[in-house]
Each structure stands twice: as structure tokens, then as C-alpha cells.
């Protein structure tokens, strides 16, 4: 990465219920200086509560939402569908970040409205690089309306 990503008025919402994955995400984003923009919700209901509160308060919305596909309380696709069905959230990029490489999961994610589907790499170094690439693209290069 050529330098730190400016996180001013940028945030990343992560919907992930595994404490180990949350810690890994935090560490990876810290290496790319994105951790101060990180907000983690540990399931579908807390994520929906958070998003609704942001909407009610007219607070800045996340610039990127990372959603685990397989949550203990249900499918991450429920969150993707909610986001795509809410007018103010529709333009927020949503990346499904999962361990599944199954074609039906990929197709279902895009059908629900995901902007990208990314399979978590097994190697720590690859995960660190992936998080940097995601931040650089979605928070740096990508432009939203």
C-alpha cells in the first residue's frame, strides 16, 4: 500500500459473530491504518439495530459493510437484503466476506445485492493483504454518490 488511507468520515461496519475473526479483522485493518474506522456488530439483530440508529440519528453511514455469510443467528444475506431494500443504505458497498467458496452461496450473495463476494484466505499474510486491498479499493479508489 502506498500510504495510509484517510479514514476521516469513513467507516467500516463488520457483521461477524466469531470473536477470533473479529480480532483477526481488527489486526489486519490496524496494519493498514483502517482500525479507527472499524465498527463491529456480532450478529444480524445488533447490526440492524446499529444501522437503524444511524439512520434515525441522521449519522454518517458506513462507507463499507463487510458481512460474514454464515452467522450463528442466520444468514448474512438477510442484512444484505435489508440494506438493498432501504433507500438511504442502497449505495453503501456491501462485501460478503466468508469461508464458503460454494457456487450457490456466490450466486445467492449477488442476487441479494452484494457488491462483491470474497473468500477469506487461510494464510494470515494473505488475509492481511486482502484487508489492505479491500480498504484501498473501497475507501480509497471507489467513489459513491
Q: Percent of the chain, pLDDT > 70?
A: 91
Give me the domains of the chain, ranges plus CATH numbers: 12-134 (3.40.50.2300)
Q: For 6, phi and psi rounded to 5 degrees?
A: -70, 120
Does 133 or 143 have the greater pLDDT score?
A: 133
For 71-85, the pLDDT digits (tens) are 998 999 999 999 999
For 85-115, the pLDDT digits (tens) are 999 999 999 999 999 999 999 999 999 999 9
Report pTM.
0.89
Q: Do residues 132 and 31 lie in contact, with contact meaning Cβ atoms separated by under 8 Å?
A: yes
DSSP string spanning 44-101?
A: HHHHHHHHHHHHHTTPPPPSEEEE-SEETTEETHHHHHHHHTSTTTTTS-EEEEES--
Q: Say whether pLDDT at 9 is over 60.
A: no
Amino acid at each position: 500500500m502506498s500510504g495510509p488511507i484517510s479514514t476521516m468520515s469513513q467507516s467500516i461496519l463488520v457483521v461477524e459473530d466469531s470473536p477470533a475473526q473479529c480480532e483477526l479483522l481488527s489486526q489486519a485493518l490496524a496494519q493498514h491504518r483502517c482500525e479507527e474506522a472499524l465498527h463491529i456488530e456480532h450478529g444480524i439483530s445488533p447490526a440492524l439495530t446499529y444501522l437503524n440508529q444511524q439512520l434515525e440519528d441522521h449519522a454518517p453511514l458506513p462507507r463499507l459493510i463487510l458481512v460474514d455469510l454464515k452467522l450463528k443467528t442466520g444468514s448474512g444475506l438477510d442484512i444484505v437484503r435489508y440494506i438493498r431494500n432501504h433507500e438511504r443504505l442502497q449505495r453503501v458497498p456491501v462485501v460478503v466476506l466468508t469461508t464458503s467458496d460454494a457456487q450457490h452461496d456466490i450466486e445467492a450473495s449477488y442476487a441479494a445485492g452484494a457488491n462483491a463476494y470474497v473468500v477469506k484466505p487461510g494464510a494470515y499474510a494473505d488475509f492481511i493483504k486482502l484487508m489492505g486491498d479491500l480498504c484501498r479499493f473501497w475507501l480509497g479508489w471507489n467513489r459513491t454518490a
